[in-house]
């Protein structure tokens, strides 16, 4: 069995270098100049988007996101928050109470395509543009537009004067072309969460009152400088460039302290935090931990490919952006490390591996939760043997609540925010942890690295990930992707009976849940010695490598609800039979996994 697997590994590693030959993705390169009026909390700018249609399709319309329009009474985000039973407390009814000088807006004007004026209609957070001259396959075009906006009172992710007094958290602040892929346009209204955009290069100049320090996406020009250049006594220009990214965020505050720490290959970590005596110690202590986290992700996924990463105090919790994160900073040290670990991991599972997080939220939040939980466990030297236990407990509670929806549900379309959260983060983290039990830990580690190599700077979909895992492990995993992510089927196996006779012990198992899984059976004898057996799942057409001393049993075909096997009786008396001793299979009823022999 093991030899066979090794053979499969050696032939598949050759095929793995080739990405899907029919894959294509759009490109959008942005050049922006923006002037900020810090008295009125308003800004205006010019934007040019060099858009490359790499699709085989002729585009007859395009869409732009105008996210700040969500922060207005009566917006879809406002009404959704007022009508969902478990609204995010940060939003609640706060949008409905915004006064005209507190709302957010983003307006575009003078929109042109290759110099020709375009008509458009704004509906909420989306500008719909019907093109008179279509964009042909492989054509590159230039959009130009003027925009003006008002920075809303901080409600969610973006805004002015957050709860810790950071002046501006500028995320999803500019007119942004919507994502287009083989499923068409993704002009999702901004209702609550998750983003998806094409990769491109960004060149952004921000003019702001010279008392402000600006940190954000990209690298300050001239390359690697740490201060913007003063253009006159009232303005300072901060010029950032970022390559191969799909977003641009920044924050500004007059009281920011700015520290830099080197890591990796001549790269830098930047820290922007307020000159507040209550937090300075924690933010200094965070710096070597952040380097250790960076090292962990580079080792376990792949190299961090950008010149810098910035951890910026701002926003209202923690949120990932291109080459940076905005996090709230007045936290206990453990919490500061936890949020940094999580958001930094998103540099891989959201930014470099840029899944459409509105449709496949478990691939960014779940994978991030998985890797950041392990990273945090290692860098904080907690060495918990089962760090993801909380994710498993959360998932089991969600199943018991009856509120679970399939992970294929659009991130905005869950009935409860609670169900979204557990499904995306916990059930998404279990997807990987459980896969490690199904294909083996070594194959999982290799899968993550191959996934990075094959899909970095692209928009992988669920099937792209599982195909990498199949090729690395040599087992079939279509059943796993399908049941776990597109249904609410659950895994529930039970030990039905154990009979010890003179010559043999007969163990009968039963499948109670609809979702199958391979099983481990651990037998403990009265003298505390143990034996382990692996029961592969027939539709895997293979199994993970055996652990030392583990024995292989015949496979179990899903349609049979029961399975029995006999092993020779030893002189020892059998004490207990237990399924899934590693705890990594998310069997929803762990009580019936154990059979104590009286
Ligand atoms: Zn996250």
Is residue 134 assigned to a domain?
Answer: yes
Whether the Cβ atoms of residue 311 and residue 290 lie closer than 8 Å to each other: yes
How far apart are the CA of 372 and the centre of ligand 1, in A? 10
Cα angle, residue 182 at apex, residues 349 and 122 outer, rounded to 5° = 85
Interatomic CA distance for residues 83 and 204, integer angstroms: 38
Q: How many CB atoms neighbour CB 131 within 10 A?
A: 16
Interatomic CA distance for residues 6 and 1, integer angstroms: 9
- Beta carbons within 8 Å of 7's beta carbon, 6+ residues apart: none
How far apart are the CA of 319 and the centre of ligand 1, in A? 7
Task: Kindly report the CATH number assigned to the domain that includes residue 579.
Answer: 2.60.40
| Residues 566, 434 within the same domain | no
How far apart are the CA of 317 and the centre of ligand 1, in A? 10
Those residues whose beta carbon sits under 5 angstroms from the ion ligand 1 are: 365
Is residue 310 assigned to a domain?
Answer: no
What counts of helices (H) and strands (E) characterise the chain?
12, 32
Check residue 3 and give its pLDDT.
36
| Residues 522, 570 within the same domain | yes
The structure tokens listed for 5 are 């697997």
| Residues 50, 184 within the same domain | yes
How far apart are the CA of 429 and the centre of ligand 1, in A? 11
Is residue 276 assigned to a domain?
Answer: no
| Residues 69, 116 within the same domain | yes
Whether the Cβ atoms of residue 198 and residue 27 lie closer than 8 Å to each other: yes
Tell which residue, 497, 492, 538, has the closest CA to residue 515. Answer: 492
What residues in the chain have per-residue pLDDT under 50? 1-17
| Residues 415, 539 within the same domain | no
Tell which of 193, 226, 249 closes a domain: 193
How far apart are the CA of 24 and the centre of ligand 1, in A? 26
Helix/strand/coil for 34: strand
Check residue 14 and give its pLDDT.
41
Is residue 137 assigned to a domain?
Answer: yes
Tell which of 472, 488, 504 closes a domain: 488
Domain that holds residue 379: 354-488
How far apart are the CA of 592 and the centre of ligand 1, in A? 34
| Residues 120, 174 within the same domain | yes
Tell which residue, 493, 495, 497, 527, has the closest CA to residue 513. Answer: 493
How far apart are the CA of 553 and the centre of ligand 1, in A? 40
Check residue 9 and give its pLDDT.
39
| Residues 444, 518 within the same domain | no
Check residue 179 and give its pLDDT.
97
How far apart are the CA of 145 and the centre of ligand 1, in A? 32
| Residues 506, 575 within the same domain | yes
| Residues 45, 185 within the same domain | yes
| Residues 28, 155 within the same domain | yes
The structure tokens listed for 532 are 């382990």
Question: How many domains are contained in the chain?
Answer: 3
| Residues 176, 53 within the same domain | yes
Interatomic CA distance for residues 221 and 240, integer angstroms: 6
Check residue 459 and give its pLDDT.
97
How far apart are the CA of 342 and the centre of ligand 1, in A? 6
Is residue 330 assigned to a domain?
Answer: no
Interatomic CA distance for residues 538 and 240, integer angstroms: 54
pTM over 0.85: yes
Check residue 18 and give its pLDDT.
53
* Tokens 């939220």, located at residue: 361
How far apart are the CA of 194 and the centre of ligand 1, in A? 10
Is residue 335 assigned to a domain?
Answer: no
Interatomic CA distance for residues 596 and 594, integer angstroms: 6
How far apart are the CA of 100 and the centre of ligand 1, in A? 32
Check residue 235 and give its pLDDT.
81
How far apart are the CA of 420 and the centre of ligand 1, in A? 12
How far apart are the CA of 189 and the centre of ligand 1, in A? 20
| Residues 394, 455 within the same domain | yes
Interatomic CA distance for residues 468 and 19, integer angstroms: 10
Is residue 110 assigned to a domain?
Answer: yes
The structure tokens listed for 275 are 């000159």
Task: Kindly report the CATH number assigned to the domain that includes residue 396.
Answer: 1.10.390.10
pLDDT tens digits for range 307-355 = 999 999 999 999 999 999 999 999 999 999 999 999 999 999 999 999 9
How far apart are the CA of 495 and the centre of ligand 1, in A? 37
Interatomic CA distance for residues 202 and 213, integer angstroms: 20
pLDDT tens digits for range 254-310 = 999 999 999 999 999 999 999 999 999 999 999 999 999 999 999 999 999 999 999
Tell which of 128, 162, 193 closes a domain: 193
How far apart are the CA of 432 and the centre of ligand 1, in A? 16
In 23-139 the beta strands, taken as DSSP E runs, fall at: 27-37, 42-52, 59-65, 105-113, 116-117, 121-123, 126-135
Whether the Cβ atoms of residue 420 and residue 357 lie closer than 8 Å to each other: no
Interatomic CA distance for residues 102 and 298, integer angstroms: 42
Handedness of CA 18, 20, 24, 29 (dihedral sign): negative
């Amino acid at each position: 069995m093991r030899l066979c697997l090794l053979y499969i590994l050696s032939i598949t590693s050759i095929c793995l270098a080739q990405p899907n030959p029919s894959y294509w993705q759009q490109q959008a390169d942005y050049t922006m100049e923006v002037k900020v009026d810090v008295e009125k909390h308003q800004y205006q700018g010019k934007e040019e988007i060099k858009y490359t249609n790499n699709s085989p399709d002729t585009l007859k319309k395009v869409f732009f996101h105008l996210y700040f329009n969500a922060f207005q009474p009566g917006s879809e985000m406002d009404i959704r928050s007022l009508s969902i039973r478990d609204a995010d407390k940060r939003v609640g009814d706060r949008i409905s109470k915004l006064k005209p000088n507190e709302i957010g807006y983003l307006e575009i004007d003078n929109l042109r395509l290759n110099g020709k004026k375009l008509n458009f209609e704004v509906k909420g957070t989306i500008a719909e543009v019907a093109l008179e001259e279509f964009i042909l396959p492989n054509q590159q075009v230039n959009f130009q537009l003027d925009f003006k906006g008002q920075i809303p009172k901080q409600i969610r992710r973006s805004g002015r004067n957050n709860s810790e007094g950071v002046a501006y958290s500028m995320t999803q602040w500019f007119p942004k072309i919507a994502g287009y892929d083989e499923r068409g346009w993704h002009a999702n209204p901004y209702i609550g969460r998750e983003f998806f955009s094409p990769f491109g290069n960004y060149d952004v100049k921000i003019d702001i009152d010279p008392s402000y320090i600006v940190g954000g996406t990209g690298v300050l020009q001239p390359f690697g400088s740490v201060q913007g250049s003063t253009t006159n006594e009232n303005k300072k220009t901060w010029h950032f460039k970022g390559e191969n990214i799909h977003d641009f965020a920044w924050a500004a505050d007059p009281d920011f302290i700015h520290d830099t720490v080197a890591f990796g290959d001549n790269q830098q970590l930047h820290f922007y935090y307020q000159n507040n005596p209550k937090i300075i110690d924690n933010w200094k202590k965070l710096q070597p931990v952040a380097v250790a986290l960076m090292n962990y992700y580079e080792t376990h996924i792949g190299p961090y490919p950008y010149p810098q990463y910035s951890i910026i105090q701002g926003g209202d919790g923690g949120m990932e952006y291109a080459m940076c994160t905005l996090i709230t900073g007045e936290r206990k040290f453990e919490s500061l490390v936890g949020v940094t670990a999580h958001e930094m991991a998103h540099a891989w599972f959201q930014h470099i591996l840029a899944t459409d997080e509105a449709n496949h939220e478990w691939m960014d939040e779940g994978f991030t939760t998985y890797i950041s939980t392990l990273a945090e466990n290692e860098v904080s030297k907690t060495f918990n043997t089962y760090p993801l236990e909380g994710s498993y407990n959360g998932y089991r509670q969600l199943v018991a609540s009856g509120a679970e929806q399939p992970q294929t549900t659009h991130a905005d379309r869950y009935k409860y925010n609670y169900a979204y959260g557990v499904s995306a983060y916990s059930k998404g983290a279990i997807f990987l942890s459980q896969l490690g039990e199904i294909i083996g830990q070594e194959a999982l580690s290799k899968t993550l690295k191959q996934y990075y190599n094959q899909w970095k700077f692209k928009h992988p979909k669920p099937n792209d990930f599982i195909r990498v895992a199949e090729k690395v492990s040599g087992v079939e995993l279509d059943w796993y992707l399908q049941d776990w992510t597109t249904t609410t089927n659950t895994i529930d196996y039970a030990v039905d009976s154990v009979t010890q006779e003179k010559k043999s012990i007969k163990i009968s198992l039963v499948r109670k849940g609809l979702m199958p899984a391979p099983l481990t059976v651990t037998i403990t004898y009265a003298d505390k010695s143990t034996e382990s057996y692996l029961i592969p799942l027939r539709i895997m057409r293979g199994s993970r490598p055996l652990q030392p001393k583990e024995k292989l049993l015949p496979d179990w075909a899903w349609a049979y609800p029961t399975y029995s096997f006999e092993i020779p009786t030893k002189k020892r008396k059998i004490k207990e039979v237990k399924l899934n001793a590693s705890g990594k299979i998310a069997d929803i009823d762990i009580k019936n996994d154990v059979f104590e022999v009286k």
